[in-house]
Structure 1
Amino acid sequence: MSAPPIASREAALRIALAARTLDGLDVRALVGALSDKYDLPLTESKLASITVEDLRSILAGGHAEENCVVGVSNEALKDAVRFLWGENVTNSELPVIESYVDGDMPGSIRVAIANNKGENLDGHFGSCERFLIYQLSASAIKLIAIRSALDADAAEDKNKARAEVIADCDLVFIQSIGGPAAAKVVRAGVHPLKKPKGGAASEILGELQAALSSPPPWLARVMGVQPSSLSRFAEALDGEDA
């Protein structure tokens, strides 16, 4: 059985809204036009890379080089592209990304959550649709990115490619992960944490946040700080040195 042309529910919603903006263009026609330019399946990250000129060329088809008039206004094209990017999508299952610049949250760590729907940990490492990326400090939690994991599935080494998607993270929460995949995640510098029952991302991150002020040894290593359980010994040594 062939794979579906659209990778996720979110991608399908974006395409449907874009088609409606383009003077009610048939969704199947838009999927077909996009499929002529992009390898299937159509993923959220592929849609997010489309520009207005890309869409104009896609809709013009074989006449694109002749500057064919698409038949819709430039503003409609812009609105359609915004929908493809995921902006202003009504009924989107995905949470809103917050503004963040590296250095905004000193002492914070970056956490990935395997996700399929809503703002939940509900995915297995090798099959989740995306990773929600959070910046976490003792005082704040920010969703800073949403990254499709499905593009990595076309790679020769799918597990390595998925690990590279989250290589800038310190931790990744997943419902399950196989041994070979876990080894590649660790090799990418990310600490995998299994939580088989999953749950709301806010609850899982809240539990982790509570541990930041007095981290156990494994978390202290991730944070690059001294484990709280060893602090009293360090204080004693400092006293002897004095």
Structure 2
Amino acid sequence: MIKVAFFTNDLKTIDAHFGSSEQFMVYDVDTNGSTLLGVVLTGEERTEGRVALLQEEGIDMLYCIEIGPAAAAKVVNSKIFPMKYKTAVSIEEELEKLSTMLGSNPPPFIQKIIEKRG
């Protein structure tokens, strides 16, 4: 199982920038599907505060529409893998893809997350 954060404005799509989103949704994802754990409000937090929120939630991966290079470096240094999209993507579709990937042959970066989780 891995824990994933989706930066979203509408709670349906990955459509928010890491640095300006007001919230992110947290899911547990495994080979059987996903479970919504909650929505975390980011408030006025800047990069360090957002990274701290992700760490408090135990996030392994985050999905967003954009993330700046300095913020991405801070996220990666915190052992969280960022996924960036150029256009809005359905959260439900990404959850299905991720669950299927976990049950087949996950890429090395996801294998490392799974091994870390034990």
Q: Normalising by the residue count of structure 2, what TM-score does the alignment of the two structures yield?
A: 0.89
The separation in 1 between residues aligned to 2:79 and 2:48, in whole angstroms, is: 12
Residue 203, structure 1, aligned to residue 93, structure 2: yes
Structure in which a larger fraction of residues adopt strand:
2
- Where in structure 1 are there 5+ consecutive unaligned residues? 1-107, 153-157, 226-242
The separation in 2 between residues aligned to 1:222 and 1:134, in whole angstroms, is: 15
Which of 192, 204, 217 is equivalent to 2:108?
Answer: 217
Report how many aligned residue pairs link the two structures: 113
The separation in 2 between residues aligned to 1:224 and 1:198, in whole angstroms, is: 30
SS in 2 for 1:162: helix
**Counterparts of 1:7-156 in structure 2 under 5 Å?**
108-152=1-45
Which of 49, 54, 68 is equivalent to 1:166?
Answer: 54
Letter in 2 for 1:143: L
How big is each residue's C-alpha offset from its partner over 1:174-227, in whole Å with a ceiling of 9 and x where there is no partner?
1111110001111222110112212211001111111102211121112118xx
How big is each residue's C-alpha offset from its partner over 1:89-110, in whole Å with a ceiling of 9 and x where there is no partner?
xxxxxxxxxxxxxxxxxxx100
Higher relative contact order (CA 8 A, sep 6+): 2
Structure in which a larger fraction of residues adopt helix:
1
The separation in 1 between residues aligned to 2:49 and 2:90, in whole angstroms, is: 26
SS in 1 for 2:19: coil
Which of 84, 98, 113 is equivalent to 1:194?
Answer: 84
SS in 1 for 2:24: strand
Compare CA radii of gyration and give the structure with the larger one. Answer: 1
- Where in structure 2 are there 5+ consecutive unaligned residues? none
Q: Normalising by the residue count of structure 1, what TM-score does the alignment of the two structures yield?
A: 0.45
Cα RMSD over matched residues? 1.3
**Percent sequence identity over matched residues?**
28
The separation in 1 between residues aligned to 2:96 and 2:25, in whole angstroms, is: 15
